[in-house]
Amino acid sequence: MEHEQLIVFPRRGGSVFAPERAKAFGDLLQRRQDHIRKLQWSIVAVYLFLLVIPACLPETEVRAGVFDSLARFAEALFWGVWWPGVILSMLIFGQFWCGLLCPDGTLTEFASRHGRGRKVPGWLYKPALPLLLFSLITFYEHSIDAFHSASMSLLIIGGTSLASLCTGLIFGRGKRVWCRFVCPGAGIFSLLARCAVLHFKVDRVAWDAAPGPAPGGVDCPPLLDVRRLKSNEKCNMCGRCSGHRQAVALSWRWPGEELATLEPEEVRGWEAAGILFVLIGLLYAVAHWNGSAWHRQLLAALRHGIGDTAFWQAEAPRWLFSRASAHADLIDALAALASIVGMTFALGVLVGAGLLFAARGQKKLADALAYALIPLSGIGLALGAMEYSLSILADNGVSAWRVLPWLRLAGMSTGLIWSISIAQRLLRRWRGHSERQTFVLPLFTAVAGLLAAAYQFAPIPA
């Protein structure tokens, strides 16, 4: 098959964007699965060490000497480097982290090869389940400020790893049922990965025309039908299908190509709601609103009101919180939760109403326009994660807050242009499906511009 049939990017001979480079890298992943497994288990070992050891040390020891340095290093690595790095990698390159490096994926696949192999139950097929789990975990970890506590990090991050291990032990036969149906991060990652410039492209003509006898089936960990693969949505980018039947190859495409070519039947209302209320509303609330001066003032008012209510005077289980007084922690957590939920709902409703107005009341078109906001909101999420990196530097005496407005300006400008270009291409394809689209793009641009301004001028943490 011609290499040019496998790409969307124009060929640039000799550069890293050359189609043969992408295809060769995909084939390399397919051939070197043994080396990849060694790398995966190395990452699992480091991950477990940094997650478990700081949490198991006595409180007095964690605060002294080398133990303090270890705890700080783990916090910086998990929340200051890993989280923003994963977000950006998903947005630009796709879910390579999931297929090649993620310790939870390694653990669940290993467990599934030695587990009971039961059939996946119907309730796990609910497509919105990962987004729901992600929202619940995010509400909890930001309500109790889990990032600064080794024990809370173990409870939350380690809890998901334990759940992935148990899922592998119970369901599937050598597959990643956890990654496909349950993983809380997968709901967000599947949205961001659709913007990526790399994907495994399947040539159906070459697949069907491949001479017999046909090779064995693809060992696809997330249980995808590779023959019909069109989207980066659930693809873990592990490379195991590369070259299969001479019809699958890692290929370049234009950024956001998958979103710009959405057909009406591919637009899902629940997913549009997830973009509005989770990717935009919730993640703006926890990444930019949480920790701001306005947030702290609202917390003080909510804390005072909740604290005067006799219903909340009982002690809460101390292991659920990271500070000394369980009663005070419960009041603080409830106040923080109320503030975050309020901001999440308000921003989601405002952006959704703006898109519905831009679409002249056509809900299907408004849902499609929500997908076009993924690049802008994804970059906003990455910036919020980088702010935590800057706060870690500030805690260690290195103030870098002056660069934040410039980072925001560069990121928001890129995200705004990216989202508008996707909306423009999407509307061109949809002209036959929707009437009176004359002012849709300008109105969408206004909505996206206001959202970009919300990110740009979000309060800088003290």
Cα gap 209→203, rounded to integer Å: 10
Q: What is the DSSP letter of 182?
A: I
Instruction: Supply the angle between the helices 404-429 and 440-456 in degrees, to the nearest 10.
Output: 160
Which is nearest to 235 in space by CA: 108, 349, 335, 99? 99
Are the beta carbons of 79 and 147 closer than 8 angstroms? yes
Cα gap 124→39, rounded to integer Å: 30
Cα gap 192→256, rounded to integer Å: 9
What's phi and psi for 240, nearest 5 deg?
-70, -20
pLDDT given at position 40 = 95
Q: Where are the alpha helices (DSSP H) in 247-373?
A: 257-260, 269-274, 283-284, 293-307, 326-358, 363-372
pLDDT given at position 53 = 83
Classify 251 as helix, strand or coil.
strand
pLDDT given at position 172 = 81
DSSP structure string for 49-85? HHHHHHHHS-HHHHTSHHHHHHHHHHHIIIIIIIHHH
Cα gap 18→66, rounded to integer Å: 47
Tell me the residue type at 240. Answer: R
pLDDT given at position 368 = 95
Helix (H) or strand (E) holding 26: helix 19-31
In a structure prediction context, what are the per-residue pLDDT tens digits for the chain, which is 462 residues long? 334 344 444 444 455 677 889 999 999 999 999 999 999 999 999 999 888 888 777 655 444 555 666 777 777 777 778 888 999 999 999 999 999 999 999 999 999 998 888 888 888 889 999 999 999 999 888 877 777 777 888 888 899 999 999 999 999 888 999 999 999 999 999 999 999 999 999 999 998 888 765 666 788 999 999 999 999 999 999 999 999 988 999 999 999 999 999 999 999 999 999 999 999 999 998 888 776 667 677 777 766 666 555 444 445 555 455 544 444 567 777 777 888 888 899 999 999 999 999 998 999 999 999 999 999 999 999 998 888 778 777 776 777 788 889 999 999 999 999 999 999 999 988 876 555 667 899 999 999 999 999 999 987 765
Count other C-beta atoms under 10 Å from residue 7's C-beta: 21
pLDDT given at position 218 = 84
pLDDT given at position 275 = 97
Cα gap 435→359, rounded to integer Å: 10
For residue 368 the two structure tokens come to: 């499609």
pLDDT given at position 209 = 86
Cα gap 359→363, rounded to integer Å: 7
Residues 6+ apart with CB under 8 A from 46: none
Burial class (CB in 10 A: 0-12, 13-18, 19+), 264: middle
Are the beta carbons of 94 and 193 closer than 8 angstroms? yes
E strands, 183-247, are: 198-202
- Would you give the end-to-end CA distance of the chain in angstroms? 57
Residue 199 pairs with which residues in a beta bridge? 251
Residue 201 pairs with which residues in a beta bridge? 249
Tell me the residue type at 209. Answer: A
Burial 421-451 (b: 16+ CB within 10 A, else e): bbbebbbeebeeebeebeebbebbbebbeeb
Cα gap 439→443, rounded to integer Å: 6
